[in-house]
Amino acid sequence: MQFLTDNWREIIDFILVTILFYQIIVRIKGTRALPAIYGLVALILVYFFSRELGFYTLQWLLENFLGSLFIIIIVLFQRDIREILTEVGLNRINLPFLKRKKVPNEEIINELVAAARQMSHDRIGALIVIERRSPLGDILRGGVTVDALITRALLVSIFFPKTPLHDGAVVIAHRRIAAAGCILPLTAQINMVNDHGTRHRAAMGVTEDSDALVIVVSEERGTISVAENGRLMVSPSEMHLRRVLEVALDI
């Protein structure tokens, strides 16, 4: 008890720093920020080796470069820093003991497959983006906040023709329908221009910039396609779509 009384400031300090580093690791895991951090670590290691080996010119260059490390970090990770600050402001800090109870994956998959099947049958165009590890905060802020459970009825209602949000994309994040009417970046691949419509090009575009999985239902052909890693593939069967969703949601 005497130890705790004398060192309570150090204990609180250690806990706060641990939480801070935990948040940083959670945010950058599986995102494009991770390779940039590897690059910075490599430069720091080269700097220390240059000092030990007496490479004075290389050491001088790296000293001047790393002297502005704080500004470099802000420039490189401005989007990730903004996402973290936004989550803190919205009281959505990611702590393992404060997580909201998750909806079972099987229930979500059943609703997504049922919605895709119905919209395919009724020739209703749809664009459903499933956020994985790469945050889609910028896209979410461009849409209309929904924050609702994933259900077939709600998805079909959103994409029903002539409704206000049917032309945009639905984004699913944290196993909930986070937003609707979202605008996605279009792919720059030339071969996509004539072969597919805007929905398919948007699906390709967002998966080129993130690790998201996108379900596309064609209004003209009624086909169900899946976009991932900048590639588009027509889902040949309901079973195939289920397998793809099982992998996507197992994160």
CATH number for the domain whose boundaries are 105-249: 3.40.1700.10
Instruction: Indicate the helix (H) or strand (E) that contains 167.
Output: none
Residue range 194-234, pLDDT digits in tens? 567 888 999 999 998 788 999 999 998 889 999 988 888 88
Which pLDDT value is given to residue 29? 63
Q: Could you give the C-alpha distances from 152 to 113, 143, 149, 187, in angstroms and in order?
A: 8, 20, 10, 28
- Edge-to-edge strand order for the sheet containing 126-130? 144-148, 176-182, 169-173, 126-130, 213-217, 224-228, 231-234
pTM flag (> 0.85): no
Per the DSSP assignment, residues forming a β-bridge with 232 are 227
Average pLDDT over residues 100-114: 78
Check whether 164 has a pLDDT greater than 50.
yes
Average pLDDT over residues 122-129: 95
For residues 111 and 130, what is the distance between their CA atoms, to the nearest angstrom? Answer: 13
Which pLDDT value is given to residue 30? 53
- The domains of the chain are located at 2-98, 105-249
Check if the beta carbon of residue 205 is closer than 8 Å to that of residue 227: no
Check whether 156 has a pLDDT greater than 70.
yes
For residues 205 and 184, what is the distance between their CA atoms, to the nearest angstrom? Answer: 7
Q: What is the 3-state secondary structure (H, E, C) of 168-211?
A: CEEEEECCEEEEEEECCCCCCCCCHHHHCCHHHHHHHHHHHHCC
126 burial type by CB count under 10 A (0-12 exposed, 13-18 middle, 19+ buried): buried
Check if the beta carbon of residue 244 is closer than 8 Å to that of residue 235: yes
Q: Which are the contacts of 179, defined by CB distance < 8 A and separation ≥ 6?
A: 139, 140, 143, 144, 145, 146, 170, 171
